[in-house]
Structure formats: C-alpha cells, structure tokens
Amino acid sequence: VSSVSISSGCSGLNSLLIFFCALISYLYMERPKLDTLTFALFLLGTIISYLANLFRMGIIIAVGHYYGPSSLDWAHANVGWVIFTIWVFIFWTIMDRLLLTTSYRNIDTH
C-alpha cells in the first residue's frame, strides 16, 4: 500500500500561471478591447487548463499504481510537460484561427 501527496510544487499551478500570463499577454496584444470572444477564450483556456492538469495527475497516479514508484517518478518528470505542450499547441492554434477570422488587425493592402 502506498500513498501519494500532492504538494504545491506538484499541483501544476506554475504551468497554469505561465499559461495565464501568456494568454493574457497574447489576447491583450491581439484584442485590446475586452469583448465576448476574448472573455470566452480566457474562460475556455481556464477550464481546459484545469481539466488538463487533472488528466496529468490522474495519469501519474495510475502509472504509479500499475507500474510502481520508479515509473511514477518517471511519469511525474515527463508526462506533465508533454500534456501541457500538446494542449497549449492545440488551444493556441484554435484560438489564433478564431482571432484571425474576427480580427481587429489592420491588413495593409499595398
């Protein structure tokens, strides 16, 4: 029987903070006015970040349960950044396409 505790350093809060800072900066540069789309993207990003973090923790615990402590350590060191990178890439791609179709960007036609 083993137990797992989740400390503040393992909670994924640092990754979420990095994501939020990047998202707020990007949205501010692309859409300085707070509108419905900007708010919806921020809300969607927050919810998906939370779910991705729960998914990460579930995978790490499942790996530890089925394959032992050394596999748990390996999963803890590697699974988080892989899930974070994949989810941010997918989210940013979708967000950028949405912003391109409803953009405030000035397009120079010269």
Helix (H, G, I), strand (E, B) or coil at 93: helix
The answer for residues whose C-beta is within 8 angstroms of residue 70's C-beta and 6 or more apart is none
Task: State the pLDDT at residue 1.
Answer: 62
d(CA 69, CA 71): 5
pLDDT at 110 over 60: no
| Average predicted confidence (pLDDT) for the chain | 83
The mean pLDDT of 21-36, rounded to a whole number, is 86
Q: Determine the pLDDT at residue 8.
A: 64
**Residue type (1 letter), 5:** S
pTM > 0.85: no
Which residues, 6+ apart, have CB-to-CB distance to 26 below 8 Å? 92, 95
- What phi and psi, each to the nearest 5 degrees, are found at residue 33? -85, 135
